[in-house]
Amino acid sequence: MLKVFLGRLMTTIPALIGVVAVSFLLTRVLPGDTAAYFAGPAATPQAVEEVRKSLGLDRPLPEQFSRYVADLSRGNLGNSLTTGQPVLEDLKSRLPASAELTLFGLVLSLLVAIPLGITAAVKQGSFIDHACRAVATAGVSLPVFFTGLLLVYVFYFILQISPAPLGRLDVFASAPPTVTGFYLVDSLIARDMQTFKATLAQLLLPGITLAIFSLAPIARITRASMLAVLSMEFIRTARASGLGKRTIIMTYAFRNAMLPVVTTLGMVFSFLLGANVLVEKVFAWPGVGSYAVEALIASDFAPVQGFVLAMAILYIVLNLIIDLSYRLIDPRMGATS
Amino acid sequence: MDRRDFLKKAGATAAASATGVAAPAVFTSASAQSRAETLLIVSESGPNNLDIHGVGTNVPGYEVSWNCYDRLISHEMKTGPNGVAYYDRDKFKPELAEDMNVGKDSATFKLRRDAKFHDGTPVTAQDVKWSLDRAVSVGGFPTFQKKAGSLEKPEQFVVVDDHTVRVDFIRPDRLTIPDLAVIVPCIVNSGLVKKNAGPNDPWGLEYTKQNTAGSGAYRCTKWTPGTEVVLERNNDWKGGAQPKIPRIIWRMVPSAGNRRALLERGDADISYDLPSKDFAELKSSSRLNIVSTPYSNGIQYIGMNVKKPPFDNPKVRQAVAHALPYQKIMDAVQFGLSEPMFGAPAGAATKAEWPQPHKYNTDLAKARALLAEAGMPNGFETTISFDLGFAGVNEPLCVLVQESLALIGIKATINKVPGANWRTELNKKEMPLFTNVFSGWLDYPEYFYFWCYDGQNSVFNTMSYQNPEMDRLIAAARTSAAAGEMATYEQSVRGFVDLAYADVPRIPLFQPYVNVAMQKNVGGYQYWFHRRLDYRALTKA
């Protein structure tokens, strides 16, 4: 297992080098001039030049790149000009916010999507099957910002049962002491039930928004994969042997249908983490998605590079975990490789 | 009862009857007390730096600086348009200074003896000199803003004794004293900042980026970039009457719809960057207090590059000026929330002030005639560019202009420029036709014209307009103002306004409004040249 792990780890290195180089080059070919943007509305050309110089942007590209790599090797991701903070600090404080929201949304989504997918596969062509198709289609078709705004309008503005969409916590509540950066976990560690409830209340609407969006791929894959497994011979044998319906579906069919679901799950998670920028905007959520987009609009290179790098590492780690979990789900995976 | 009211009530009743519980309050009872003492501001974006002297400090950062630092002097208030408290351009009041004595070659300021910085150290003349030296030395925006008032060299700031500072003039300039009352010449705690300055950072910009080191009415106690700024009142403030509100929480809410929902639900106290449409609707619903004040010395305009055909021909520019859909823009883009800058009566005399409306109106027959005179009866093709950062106004505006120009045969393609790129594009001075806004802190016509029409061709002279007669008139206005020759001054101002409107390199459309929406129990709003909030005067009943 360790050997496999190390072997997989080695293959990630070229990918990382590629990401560093590409993210650097991409931000440089973006239209827009950082210096002009940050010199402010009343800047003269001289002022712009002064800002450019103080940012080191007047130097040739290879020199900027070697500086960037040297800084990276010291763990310095540079400074964000939009927030004025070191990028590493920004990512550290914002990644947990996004991760908590995404995980929460994903769990909500799983709770609905998997039972829905399984039922749809078992009762193919039934009312549930059509409902599954309808829900999945609606979920992907509704843009997240629309779902988000709609939920805010209904549950905050009209029904008044949701707290104000003001980020992770109410304005007058204070964050629990940081252990994991996940407020739900941290407030439990601090045994602060009031903060836990407040956090949960804030998480609910954005979580549901994300869940509605990510429902579709999970439910559809569960259904398709279950259908494939259910038509296999070992299921027929199990049925012929008179095993209980529940045992057949959950123990035999679902376990075998899980591989593609887990693969999709990994994809959906990493996709949501970066792509939930719109949800973050709607709910004033201090996450990485909105951070990266704001930086991009301002031609602020360092955070964009830092974000791409963080996302790349996350993808790599996730894929590694998924690869390794295959072996746990299906022992044959280890034997063939 | 309007539709929204009905839905709200119906919804609330349904929810209450369905669940059998009352809707939970947004604020818990424990926080009710602090709620009453706190002002919650919501806006789209927040500061990137707490110090206006920093590299690339954004406009929200100016608001923190304004409220957390003092200047030597500030402006008195007067009653402005719509009865709003409005800063008085011509009357100064002492802030850190208790006395100001302006002579021919210098101004002398006596400092208050009781003023203290937030850490308790007294404010001395050395702090003042260090701070002003810093403003003229750090480069970038602060230094250039100081130059606008002929404040250029550290030698101009002289410590006379511990509580007296003299500012020497390098040339007579009417803008020198006003330039000491803008946001930039804030007085910084030099002892504290020097202690935290690094070898590569003699002015301690890294420290003041994160910390407010002033003597102002508020100090920043918490700043989470992109999320929240918390300011607490400085109960020892000596620069004026003690502010009424002990705590300010300023939250960044990127979605305009949610900012409006927060206001309408009564959770947020004040917000000032909503789309015009929202303000227009809120105004008519009268549930909130909406204050609209025209930008001082600011206009949105259509500019034309006079260096390149076809806009090098004044007839073509006049044709465009007769073809713009002015009233449609006012109605459909601004929802009436701005001051029209067009259609002055034909016989009206030019006033010695700025901004003022021009005499062009939408008159397509005249536009076609002018275009024919210019030798282009069938029109031409061009592109109209705008800044996507302000797409809410610019995009519909450009579509209307495109539509209207098509009627006289000018086919304009719309070119959307991303916000980060806009300034670069302006600097290149290659866009043939574009819309933009310019507004100056210092509310003087010659200041506006010096930046926007002078032959030195600054970045704000977006049209590359160069005309020796214009330069002469602007220079005459500046020198006569400094010398106090008001007759010559007014004549020069009328002269350059007339010339600008005859040559029309840029066509003013409207003077935008600063719109502020607040709860009915929030009072004390003041309009300032910087257009940000002054927390010191705000009240909450």
pLDDT digits (tens, 9 = 90+) for B498-522: 999 999 999 999 999 988 999 999 9
- B301 neighbors B324 (Cβ within 8 angstroms): no
**In whole angstroms, what is the distance from residue B520 CA to residue B541 CA?**
9
Instruction: Decide if B57 touches A, using CB distance below 8 A.
Output: yes
Do B158 and B11 share a structural domain?
yes
What distance lies between CA B99 and its chain's CA centroid? 28
- Is the peptide bond preceding residue A115 cis, with omega within 30 degrees of 0? no
Whether B264 maps to a domain, the answer reads no
Do B523 and B509 share a structural domain?
no
Q: What angle do CA B361, B366, B367 make, to 5 degrees?
A: 80
Whether B262 maps to a domain, the answer reads no
Do the chains contact at A39 and B227, CB–CB below 8 Å?
no
Which H or E element spans position B74?
strand B73-79
Do the chains contact at B57 and A40, CB–CB below 8 Å?
yes
Whether B526 maps to a domain, the answer reads yes
| Closest of B471, B452, B491 to residue B351, by C-alpha | B491
Do the chains contact at B258 and A152, CB–CB below 8 Å?
yes
Do the chains contact at A45 and B420, CB–CB below 8 Å?
no
Cβ neighbours of B16 in A, within 8 Å = none
Cβ neighbours of B26 in A, within 8 Å = 163-164, 170
Q: Which long-range contacts (CB under 8 A, 24 or more apart) does A324-329 make?
A: A324/A1, A324/A4, A324/A5, A324/A8, A325/A262, A326/A259, A326/A262, A327/A1, A329/A255, A329/A258, A329/A259, A329/A262
pLDDT reading at A270 higher than 70: yes
Segment A151-161 mean pLDDT: 88
pLDDT of residue A159: 87
Cβ neighbours of A43 in B, within 8 Å = 140-141, 144, 423, 459
pLDDT of residue B32: 60
Do B335 and B205 share a structural domain?
no
| Closest of A143, A123, A147, A144 to residue A133, by C-alpha | A123
Number of domains present in the structure of chain B: 2
Instruction: Decide if B396 touches A, using CB distance below 8 A.
Output: no
pLDDT reading at A43 higher than 50: yes
Which strands sit side by side in the sheet containing B526-527, from one edge to the other? B73-79, B85-94, B526-527
Which H or E element spans position B92?
strand B85-94
> Bridge partners of A277?
none
Instruction: Decide if B225 touches A, using CB distance below 8 A.
Output: yes
CA dihedral B153, B208, A90, A211 (to 10 degrees): -100
pLDDT of residue B6: 43
Counting runs of H as helices and runs of E as strands, what totals does chain A give? 16, 0
Pick from A91, A158, A162 the residue to mutate for testing the B interface (most B CBs within 10 Å): A158
Q: How many CA atoms lie within 13 Å of B73's alpha carbon, on the beta-carbon side? A: 25
Do the chains contact at A90 and B257, CB–CB below 8 Å?
no
Which residues 6+ apart lie within 8 Å of B491 measured at CB? Answer: B352
Q: Name the 3-class secondary structure at B249.
A: strand
Parallel, antiparallel, or unpaired: how do β-strands B106-111 and B164-168 relate?
antiparallel
Which H or E element spans position A121?
helix A87-122
- Give the least confident one: A32-41, A180-189, B200-209: A32-41
Do B433 and B332 share a structural domain?
yes
Pick from A28, A29, A34, A37 the residue to mutate for testing the B interface (most B CBs within 10 Å): A37
Do the chains contact at B226 and A161, CB–CB below 8 Å?
no
Do B327 and B197 share a structural domain?
no
**In whole angstroms, what is the distance from residue A109 CA to residue A121 CA?**
18
**In whole angstroms, what is the distance from residue A202 CA to residue A284 CA?**
11
Domain that holds residue B207: 3-253+519-540
| Closest of A43, A45, A64 to residue B55, by C-alpha | A43
Do B505 and B394 share a structural domain?
yes
Architecture of domain A96-287: Orthogonal Bundle (1.10)
| Closest of B533, B517, B522 to residue B36, by C-alpha | B522
Which H or E element spans position B89?
strand B85-94
Instruction: Decide if B36 touches A, using CB distance below 8 A.
Output: no
Which residues 6+ apart lie within 8 Å of A197 measured at CB? Answer: none
**In whole angstroms, what is the distance from residue A85 CA to residue B294 CA?**
35
- B282 neighbors B335 (Cβ within 8 angstroms): no
Do B192 and B73 share a structural domain?
yes
Please give, rounded to a whole number of angstroms, the shortest distance from the CA of B372 to a CA of chain A.
Answer: 38
Instruction: Decide if B34 touches A, using CB distance below 8 A.
Output: yes
Q: What angle do CA A48, A54, A55 make, to 5 degrees?
A: 90
Measured N-to-C along each axis, helices A2-29 and A301-329 cross at an angle, to the nearest 10 degrees, of 150
Do B231 and B311 share a structural domain?
no
Rounded to 5 degrees, φ, ψ at A197 are -65, -45
Which H or E element spans position B507?
strand B506-518
Residue B120 class from Cβ within 10 Å (0-12 exposed, 13-18 middle, 19+ buried)?
A: exposed
Do B503 and B523 share a structural domain?
no
Cβ neighbours of B56 in A, within 8 Å = 37-40, 51, 81
Full-model pTM: 0.82
**In whole angstroms, what is the distance from residue B516 CA to residue B288 CA?**
10
**In whole angstroms, what is the distance from residue B501 CA to residue B359 CA?**
8
Do B94 and B120 share a structural domain?
yes
Do B529 and B417 share a structural domain?
no
Cβ neighbours of B428 in A, within 8 Å = none
**Which residue on chain A is closest to B265 by alpha carbon?**
A157
Whether B261 maps to a domain, the answer reads no
pLDDT of residue B42: 92
Per-residue pLDDT band at A40 (split at 50, 70, 90) = low
Closest by Cβ to A171, choosing from B15, B57, B249: B249
pLDDT of residue A73: 84
- Here the CATH number for the domain that contains residue B94 is 3.40.190.10
Do B331 and B244 share a structural domain?
no
Whether B287 maps to a domain, the answer reads no
- B489 neighbors B272 (Cβ within 8 angstroms): no
- B90 neighbors B78 (Cβ within 8 angstroms): no
Pick from B2, B33, B48 the residue to mutate for testing the A interface (most A CBs within 10 Å): B48
**Residue in the block written with tokens 């100090």:** B219
Q: Name the 3-class secondary structure at B130.
A: helix
Closest by Cβ to B23, choosing from A30, A44, A161: A161
Please give, rounded to a whole number of angstroms, the shortest distance from the CA of B117 to a CA of chain A.
Answer: 24
Q: Name the 3-class secondary structure at B352.
A: coil
pLDDT of residue B2: 47
Q: Name the 3-class secondary structure at B535.
A: helix
Rounded to 5 degrees, φ, ψ at B89 are -55, -35
Q: What is the mean pLDDT of chain A?
A: 83
Ranges of chain B whose pLDDT falls below 70: 1-33, 420
Closest by Cβ to A172, choosing from B31, B209, B268: B31
Q: How many CA atoms lie within 13 Å of B418's alpha carbon, on the beta-carbon side? A: 16
- The beta-strand segments (E) located in B272-380 are 289-294, 298-304, 338-340
pLDDT of residue B268: 92
Whether B218 maps to a domain, the answer reads yes
pLDDT of residue A275: 64
Q: Which amino acid is at A116?
A: L
Parallel, antiparallel, or unpaired: how do β-strands B85-94 and B526-527 relate?
parallel
Do the chains contact at A297 and B48, CB–CB below 8 Å?
no
Q: Which amino acid is at B520?
A: K
Give, rounded to a whole angstrom, the gap between the first and last alpha carbons of chain A: 12
Length in residues, chain B: 541
Pick from A151, A172, A278 the residue to mutate for testing the B interface (most B CBs within 10 Å): A172
**Which residue on chain A is closest to B30 by alpha carbon?**
A172
**In whole angstroms, what is the distance from residue B470 CA to residue B477 CA?**
11
**In whole angstroms, what is the distance from residue B253 CA to residue B262 CA?**
10
Name the token pair of B370: 């002018």
Cβ neighbours of B389 in A, within 8 Å = 297
Do the chains contact at A83 and B144, CB–CB below 8 Å?
no
